[in-house]
A and B are shown apart, each in its own frame.
Chain A
Amino acid sequence: MVIKVKFVNNTNMVNKKIISIVLLLLMGFTFQMKAQKISSEVTGTVKDVYGQPLQGVIISSGDGEKIHVTNADGVYSFKVDNNIHSLIFSLLGYKSGKKDVESNLDVVLQKDSHVMDETIFKGFSRQSRTTVSGSIASVKGDVLAKSPVATLGQTLGGRLSGLLTEETSSELGRTNTSLHLRGISSIRANNPLVVIDGVVCPYNSDESLSYISPAEIESISVLKDAASQALYGIQGANGVIIVTTKRGIAGQMKVNVRLDESLQEVTTKPVFINSSEYATLRNEAAYNDGLGQNYFYSDDQIEKFRSGSDPEHYPNTNWYDMNFKKLAQMQRVGLDITGGNDKIAYYSNVNVMHQGGFYNVDQKEYNPNNNYFWANARSNVDVKLNQYLSAYLNLAGNIKREHYSAAGFVNNIYPHLFTLPSTLYGPVTPSSETDEGGNVITTENEGSPVYGLINRCGYQNSMVTNVYSQFGLKLDMSFLTHGLSMTGIVGFQTNIVNTMATNQNYQRYMRKSNLDVLEFKKKGTDENTELAYSKGSSMYNYLTYKAQVDYVRSFGLHHVSAVGYALYQNLAKVDVTSPFCLPYDRISTGAEVMYDYDNRYVLSLDMGYSGSEQYARGHRYATTPAASAAWVLSNESFIKENASWLSLAKFRAAYGLTANDQSGLSRFAYNDKVSVNGGGSIGYLGYTTTETALGNPNIEAEISKKINLGIDLGFANQLTLSFDIFKEKMDNMIYSNTALVPSYQGADLNIYPKTNFAEFENKGFEVEANYEKTLNKDLSFNFGGFVSYNKNTVTNILETSLGDDYAYPIRTEGYSYGQTYGYLVDYSNGNGFYNFQSEIDQSGLDYSFGTPRIGDLKYQDLNKDGIIDEKDKAPIGNGTLPRFYYGISGGITFKAFELSFLFQGVGDWSSVYSGMGVYETDYDGVYGSLHKNAWTVNRWNNDEKISAPALSLTQSTSHQTSDYYLYDRSYLRLKNLELGYTLPSKIAKYIKASKLKVVLSGQNLLTWNNMKSDDFGPEGSYGTIPVYRVYNVGVRVQF
């Protein structure tokens, strides 16, 4: 038998040799294997110091292999091989206990508030928290599962120090949350790498995360510094999120059932401008524009709107309430089964989620309302094939069936709830003797009336099938040397989306201008059509091969562990055009060596060596070394003996490189792209060339240098404190350096190659604190929280000055990514508006974008040239990301009651808003609550509150990016609250359950913020669907 092993070109000769030898030995040894074992029965109970039985205590062999788990009564009973001499009993939050094997073994576990015995999974390697020298935060799946929401991303906010979450799209059932770990490492603002069960999932990682339900999660860790990221090479620089799903543990089959019923409502809702208010505001705007009083509506008409005496001719239509439901429903059912024996262990999970619609629909022929079903199933099976060889299979499948209006998802429809004025009769034309009516009413300016979008466009069905499977084999090579093992994994993801869409068009009608008669005229040429069907599909698949060698061994007080891996990834998409049809490939290798002496002195060396097809030979591979060290002072005997109150003291330092290959380059950026096409000036020559890209053969991965310093402190085994400060610097960031390239050199600057020259910096700190106290067997509580701060700066892009006459001629360097520029309002007169005509005249200012009226904003002429223009713009806000973010969580357990809460917030974040609802001129005038008190002469004279510049019908000089529209987006939110009650066990036993618990929970219950109005919340804008508040009732049953 010939085994042909091929490797990355000279990447890792060491690996190659090791693996070749291993394979040869494997062949030799496996033939001699025999499944001969002698075993003996071990039973016992595990309890805490108060005598309460501990459920879920993991019992493993001395070398870390999980064997069994205790049941709800803390009882265990299993057969143990006679080559195992000691057992380790571990439970998160308790100090592990190690006992020699005896037939009857009762164990008492001590509380460990510092959870130093927790094993942290870093994606490719494991480490006990004691010896972690990098910066890692982690959270358990059962904590995340407290959030009654549909997607995993929504559960992460406030749970992990250093992880910034922002809900960027809040559509129920398909929320999108953007994740940034310690901010961003380059101006690309890339998301962190997601690693699921040891396999990197860089493509569509947001989506890949959403295919996992919180209930399946064992833990999530975030790797924040170079020490923990270096191993990931060209994919590590943006941080790494390690997702570990639950695995089966041998023991009696356990079944968990979760049932949840949730009601959801929006957290914010723009103010309703009733028809008399609308008419008044519209007149006010016309008056300001010089069109005179009562340009649109007479006082008499406004009075009719106000009194509601003639609702047919003078209606007050609330388009929002008419079309949008106040409450939407969600149901979730989850079932997981776990169990196994000494040969096989399994964890299976099925979750079904149903998201109900959120529109009030009025369509009899079909249902255009949203209706999402989402089923995901997972089966993680571990099999011990023989003494040395074990295998596992993770199979996760998702079926997402989405039914929704053909007008699209809610983000396409929601803004149109506000575009029609409340003075408009609607939603459809009335029937009469001559006309059956029923045609959708809109205005001249709105082509997509919301009623039509929901009810007259058709519907779509999308079926998303995502299958993610991993198959791994692990060979224990202790027959060579103790502690050596080898693992091979194949990961395969297939994602298929099939969409069947139906479309129809509909007639639009407009009301005629005479309000005293109810008459309509047809708008445009649209006609009512039958449903037309269409079909579309897309897919991608992702293949990963990974080989890994592990070595874990202790020599007395010296503990050594090492990992070496090689990874090949291949992504194929359905694109048919070159170069996108070509597969996307990456190769990564890396090695890590960790050493500690007596859990006191820790040293870790990491090295990634990885390449991407993005770069030319010779520049393809990036080396990312990192070194880190820790000193666990509290494990020194002089502390243990003399200052036992100092239950934890640890100092960490790490420095290293990480890299990024997602630099916004076109594919194969090292090559020129020249196309040859027919035509050209000279027909005789037949063809002409077009250079669409010029290659930079020297382009290479961006390297981020990162340093992290940390201290962990613990007091009296109750209070844990952790501090980290970090700094990241990238000085080969890829950017277009055309500032130093004149156009006269002839190559189009738009296609001029980007180079590795720009510089970027990111720094910050994290503080974490946790306090945990168990007062007695009935009462315990914990409090904790973190604050993270990060600030990035674009330090060098060779920016060209805009000119000395600019107030801020340099607009990127020295500022954070995404810095906004706009005018500064001159508040020297008290309110920032021109309150008299003479104030305008005396200002001596020319606006380059129009002529200000009274009630318009007065801008600062920063360059003192008498002209307000581009040159006067100043930095406003502080970039695209919040600088502070924090979470505060806690819980109290009293007898059978458990209460937990999570507050989450961000700070130092402000952005300039514009567009519909902020400006009032869109469509037929869309007024937010601030416009009700817009500047008018009367309000000014009467000293009334003024909350907007003078209204206008068209763009005025006030509708410019300025600090007037700067909104402070910091907020504090009661993100999650859960109250649980475990019913007495005798009740549970009625249904043969071992545990029965009911929970009441809520998500996003309260938000405190500084927004200028309550029309929209800090994450969204006037026309985007707001974050939802969720009320949930759930039942948890364990059999």
Chain B
Amino acid sequence: MKQNKILSYIAALTFLFGGSSCSDVLDQAPAGKISLDEVFKDNDYVAAYINTCYRSMPYYGVRYFFYSRGPVCWSDEAWDADDLDVNWAGSAYMYNGNASASAHPVWSTDNGHGGNMGNFWDNYWARIRNCTYFLTYIDQATVTEESNRSRWKAEAHLLRAFYYSELLRWFGCELPIEQELYDMNQDFSMITRSNYHDVVKFILEDCDIALNCPELPWRITSSGEERRVTKAFAEALKSRMILYAASPLYNEGENYWEEAYTINKASLENLRTNGYELYNAIHIPATYSPSKNPEVYLPNEKAGMFLEYFCTSAAYSSTPQDKETIYQTADGQGNIWHIDGIGAQSGYKSGTCPSQELVDSYETTDGQPVLNLSKPYLDEETHLNPNYNSNNTLYDPKNPYENRDPRFYASIYYNGSKRKAWWVFSELPSCYENYPASAGYRTRVIATYEGEPKTGINSAERSVTRTGYYERKFLHPHSGDNNGVGGARFKQFRLAEIILNFAEAAAESGHLEEAKVAVNEIRTRAGMPDLPSGLTKDELILRIRNERRVELAMEGFRFFDVRRWSTPDGDLAKTDRWVTAMSITRNADGSYSYKRKQVNGSERKCYTNKYLKAAVPLTEVNNMISISGENWQNPGW
């Protein structure tokens, strides 16, 4: 009895002490936490990580903040009709000069409305780190198929190159090249920046590594792999970035045009060799062919084809109908008739309103520019007095929309053009061209004259045009509330751009004939005559730049083009300061009078020298000043 008692005491004590701990009690495996090391020990996680490298591929198109075309509206191509309702960010910020180093539309906008763009500076750097991280660990990683390892590596190189190219395009400043990972104890005061050309060379190297990968395909052929990058993507990126590096804003006084010519020539050849060619036929005649569908309201088959191309996503197939598109972004361009077309159609907003300057750039059908390209306006900045091309006999300022380049009709709704779609309103008696008609699916004359109650030019509402024009380029001819055809995938790289890149580089480097042949290929496809013979180098360059403006209209190129064509000490006063509209008056007899005017009567403030490059975020600049004493800010910010 006694012993039992004592034994129980001992047991109790033992329990007290013995229970106290074992050696690894604090060493708990934290469930639900995966470390980066573990990611590279699992094939599926490695695949997930390369997927993460893709995360910041931009959507472009109408997916800039608040369903805007961003740089399209910040250039002389268009005016954003959302300048009142979203006046706290986006286009209004650029127009009124409120963009600053602590709030700039390029990186301070919310990414909740309009895709995944977000803060360009942070996001692109984050993905560059992901790519470098991936490249650092992929060789030791657990990957079940070696072909995957090889292709993923090529993709990581290519994505890193692409993200660098975006940083260069927007910020245009010297950047640190991240070839090796920074560690937690990195002394960032020791990191140096490389100049623009060196960063571009780094981009080209990454592209070349990708091009040397046998497992990286030239074309994505199944929709499961949509959005993966290809060798064609690498060639296109090389073409674009070497052109940028050679351009006046970035070349730092060096002449890189011959280098740009050589690289562009090779890239273009490689693309053609591997099956890329211009889109050259209508594939959906029932919708886009004016002969089969008069209600598409286009003057000819070329215009129909051009519209079809931008309204149709490329298929993923080894023999696609669309062999021009090199890379298209994610789906999700949305109900663009609702956010970027004719605002009145469903009552929301018009978004991108093409400018008079863009309209002026379309030639007449005889291949003559409307304006004198070397000095398009007599009042060079304010653009109210056009300097007409004296050789042009077809252009009639009293009927300005006749006899124009087919691409004009495929890209822009102008006063008197027609659209058959669902209109949510019934016509008012003062809608002279359309009254009477009730809400429904019907043809409507797009009347943009002053005072037209539904689609007339107006500066006070987001649903109407600021300029007298509406965007048509990406808008399905009959989309509307009853026919929800969303915007097609945005064509981020297409062969036409590469041809024009090549043409520009060739002309700048003196290979005029090659340049002309290239431009004529674009013109022929659009149904325009060849360039005349005997153009000087400067004349040819002006024609190439104008061709680029027309062919790539509203695709987001012009914003960057006018910048790179500027010198570092220049500004954009001649192009971007005053953007004009066509004020049309409806006369009693139903005819129209045309008078150019300034949108809102106010200038845009986003033309000054500092707007050549975007501001680096203030927090980053402050950080770098305290880390290294070096001021990273671009001039003027």
Instruction: Tell me whether A83 is interfacial, beta carbon within 8 Å.
Output: no
Chain A positions within 8 Å of B33 at CB level: 578-579, 668, 671-674
Chain B positions within 8 Å of A1 at CB level: 7, 10
**How far is B26's CA from A674's CA once the two chains are assembled, in angstroms?**
21
- Please judge, given known A-B contacts A587-B21, A683-B224, A743-B620, whether A688 and B48 are in contact too, CB under 8 Å: yes
Instruction: Tell me whether A21 is interfacial, beta carbon within 8 Å.
Output: no
Chain A positions within 8 Å of B591 at CB level: none
**How far is B32's CA from A3's CA once the two chains are assembled, in angstroms?**
36
Chain B positions within 8 Å of A587 at CB level: 21, 25-26
Interface residue range, chain A: 35 or more
Tell me which of B123-131, B320-328, B379-387, B518-526 binds A. Answer: B123-131
Instruction: Tell me whether B122 is interfacial, beta carbon within 8 Å.
Output: yes
Chain A positions within 8 Å of B182 at CB level: 745-746
Interface flags, B16-59, vs A, CB<8A=1, else 0: 11111111111110111111111100001101111110110100
Q: Are A687 and B48 in contact (CB under 8 A)?
A: yes
Determine the main DSSP class of B at the interface with A: helix
Q: Are B129 and A746 in contact (CB under 8 A)?
A: yes
- Please judge, given known A-B contacts A671-B35, A681-B227, A687-B48, whether A585 and B17 are in contact too, CB under 8 Å: no
Tell me which of B87-95, B369-377, B622-630 binds A. Answer: B622-630
Chain A positions within 8 Å of B460 at CB level: none
Instruction: Tell me whether B14 is interfacial, beta carbon within 8 Å.
Output: yes
Q: Which listed residue (B21, B51, B127, B228) contacts A689, Cβ 8 A?
A: B51
**How far is B330's CA from A687's CA once the two chains are assembled, in angstroms?**
17
- Identity of the chain B residue whose Cβ is nearest the Cβ of A674 in the assembled complex: B34
**How far is B26's CA from A742's CA once the two chains are assembled, in angstroms?**
34
Q: Which listed residue (A613, A689, A741, A753) contacts B188, Cβ 8 A?
A: A741
Residues 19-39 (chain A) with a chain B CB within 8 angstroms: 19, 23, 26-27, 30-31, 33
Instruction: Tell me whether B319 is interfacial, beta carbon within 8 Å.
Output: no
Q: Are A743 and B122 in contact (CB under 8 A)?
A: yes
**How far is B55's CA from A5's CA once the two chains are assembled, in angstroms?**
53
Q: Are B54 and A681 in contact (CB under 8 A)?
A: yes
Residues 346-366 (chain A) with a chain B CB within 8 angstroms: none
The smallest beta-carbon distance between B301 and chain A, in angstroms, is 36
- Identity of the chain A residue whose Cβ is nearest the Cβ of B175 in the assembled complex: A744
**How far is B183's CA from A696's CA once the two chains are assembled, in angstroms?**
11
Residues 271-294 (chain B) with a chain A CB within 8 angstroms: none
Q: Are B51 and A566 in contact (CB under 8 A)?
A: no
The smallest beta-carbon distance between A686 and chain B, in angstroms, is 6
Q: Which listed residue (A26, A617, A685, A696) contacts B50, Cβ 8 A?
A: A685
**How far is B484's CA from A516's CA once the two chains are assembled, in angstroms?**
55
Q: Are B31 and A746 in contact (CB under 8 A)?
A: no
Q: Are B34 and A672 in contact (CB under 8 A)?
A: yes
- Identity of the chain A residue whose Cβ is nearest the Cβ of B186 in the assembled complex: A745
Q: Are A620 and B26 in contact (CB under 8 A)?
A: yes
Chain A positions within 8 Å of B55 at CB level: 680-681, 688
Instruction: Tell me whether B226 is interfacial, beta carbon within 8 Å.
Output: yes
Instruction: Tell me whether A740 is interfacial, beta carbon within 8 Å.
Output: yes
Q: Which listed residue (A30, A547, A577, A689) contacts B6, Cβ 8 A?
A: A30
Chain B positions within 8 Å of A681 at CB level: 51, 54-55, 57, 227, 330
Instruction: Tell me whether A17 is interfacial, beta carbon within 8 Å.
Output: no
**How far is B228's CA from A967's CA once the two chains are assembled, in angstroms?**
62
- Identity of the chain A residue whose Cβ is nearest the Cβ of B131 in the assembled complex: A746
Q: Are B20 and A680 in contact (CB under 8 A)?
A: no
Q: Are A547 and B122 in contact (CB under 8 A)?
A: no
Chain A positions within 8 Å of B175 at CB level: 744
- Please judge, given known A-B contacts A547-B17, A587-B21, A741-B188, whether A31 and B228 are in contact too, CB under 8 Å: no
**How far is B37's CA from A673's CA once the two chains are assembled, in angstroms?**
11
**How far is B51's CA from A3's CA once the two chains are assembled, in angstroms?**
55
Residues 667-717 (chain A) with a chain B CB within 8 angstroms: 667-668, 671-676, 680-691, 694-696
Instruction: Tell me whether A40 is interfacial, beta carbon within 8 Å.
Output: no
Interface residue range, chain B: 35 or more
The smallest beta-carbon distance between B185 and chain A, in angstroms, is 9
Interface flags, A787-806, vs B, CB<8A=1, else 0: 00000000000001111000
**How far is B16's CA from A681's CA once the two chains are assembled, in angstroms?**
56
Instruction: Tell me whether B619 is interfacial, beta carbon within 8 Å.
Output: yes
Instruction: Tell me whether B176 is interfacial, beta carbon within 8 Å.
Output: yes
- Please judge, given known A-B contacts A31-B3, A746-B126, whether A473 and B13 are in contact too, CB under 8 Å: yes
- Please judge, given known A-B contacts A566-B21, A568-B20, whether A675 and B34 are in contact too, CB under 8 Å: yes
Chain B positions within 8 Å of A473 at CB level: 9, 12-13, 16
Instruction: Tell me whether A781 is interfacial, beta carbon within 8 Å.
Output: no
- Please judge, given known A-B contacts A578-B33, A682-B227, A746-B178, whether A688 and B51 are in contact too, CB under 8 Å: yes
Q: Which listed residue (A7, A475, A617, A695) contacts B35, Cβ 8 A?
A: A695
**How far is B624's CA from A546's CA once the two chains are assembled, in angstroms?**
51
* Residue of A8, A567, A674 with most partner-chain B CB within 10 A: A674
Chain A positions within 8 Å of B50 at CB level: 682, 685
Q: Are B184 and A696 in contact (CB under 8 A)?
A: yes
Chain A positions within 8 Å of B626 at CB level: 739-740, 800-801
Q: Are B51 and A545 in contact (CB under 8 A)?
A: no
The smallest beta-carbon distance between B50 and chain A, in angstroms, is 6
Q: Are A802 and B622 in contact (CB under 8 A)?
A: yes
Number of A-B contacts (CB under 8 A): 233
The smallest beta-carbon distance between B618 and chain A, in angstroms, is 8
**How far is B17's CA from A19's CA once the two chains are assembled, in angstroms?**
8
**How far is B186's CA from A642's CA once the two chains are assembled, in angstroms?**
67
Chain A positions within 8 Å of B126 at CB level: 746-748
- Identity of the chain A residue whose Cβ is nearest the Cβ of B330 in the assembled complex: A681
Chain B positions within 8 Å of A31 at CB level: 3, 6
- Identity of the chain A residue whose Cβ is nearest the Cβ of B37 in the assembled complex: A672
The smallest beta-carbon distance between B206 and chain A, in angstroms, is 16
Instruction: Tell me whether B617 is interfacial, beta carbon within 8 Å.
Output: yes
Instruction: Tell me whether B145 is interfacial, beta carbon within 8 Å.
Output: no
Q: Are A23 and B624 in contact (CB under 8 A)?
A: no
Instruction: Tell me whether B74 is interfacial, beta carbon within 8 Å.
Output: no
Q: Are B227 and A5 in contact (CB under 8 A)?
A: no
**How far is B125's CA from A844's CA once the two chains are assembled, in angstroms?**
43
Q: Are B34 and A743 in contact (CB under 8 A)?
A: no
- Identity of the chain B residue whose Cβ is nearest the Cβ of A472 in the assembled complex: B16
Q: Are B32 and A578 in contact (CB under 8 A)?
A: yes
Interface flags, B603-628, vs A, CB<8A=1, else 0: 00000000000000101101111110
Instruction: Tell me whether B578 is interfacial, beta carbon within 8 Å.
Output: no
The smallest beta-carbon distance between A670 and chain B, in angstroms, is 9
Interface flags, B512-537, vs A, CB<8A=1, else 0: 00000000000000000000000000
Interface flags, B324-366, vs A, CB<8A=1, else 0: 0000001000000000000000000000000000000000000
- Identity of the chain B residue whose Cβ is nearest the Cβ of A547 in the assembled complex: B17
Q: Are B23 and A545 in contact (CB under 8 A)?
A: no
- Please judge, given known A-B contacts A680-B55, A746-B126, whether A5 and B18 are in contact too, CB under 8 Å: yes
**How far is B37's CA from A167's CA once the two chains are assembled, in angstroms?**
48
Q: Which listed residue (A579, A617, A747, A748) contacts B32, Cβ 8 A?
A: A579
Instruction: Tell me whether A344 is interfacial, beta carbon within 8 Å.
Output: no
**How far is B13's CA from A706's CA once the two chains are assembled, in angstroms?**
37
Q: Are B30 and A26 in contact (CB under 8 A)?
A: no
Interface flags, A734-760, vs B, CB<8A=1, else 0: 000011111111111000010100000
- Identity of the chain A residue whose Cβ is nearest the Cβ of B12 in the assembled complex: A473
The smallest beta-carbon distance between A1002 and chain B, in angstroms, is 47
Q: Besides A473-B12, A671-B30, A676-B34, 10 other CB < 8 A contacts?
A: A8-B25, A545-B19, A613-B26, A668-B33, A682-B228, A691-B36, A738-B623, A753-B184, A800-B623, A802-B622
21 contacts between A and B (CB under 8 A): A1-B7, A488-B13, A488-B16, A490-B16, A586-B26, A587-B25, A668-B33, A672-B34, A676-B45, A680-B51, A681-B57, A687-B48, A689-B52, A694-B184, A740-B623, A743-B617, A745-B188, A746-B126, A746-B127, A746-B132, A800-B622
Residues of A within 8 A of B (CB): 1, 3-9, 19, 23, 26-27, 30-31, 33, 385, 389, 473, 475, 488-490, 545-547, 566-568, 577-579, 581-583, 585-587, 611-613, 617, 620, 667-668, 671-676, 680-691, 694-696, 738-748, 753, 755, 800-803
**3 nearest CB pairs, A to B:** A746-B129, A578-B32, A488-B16
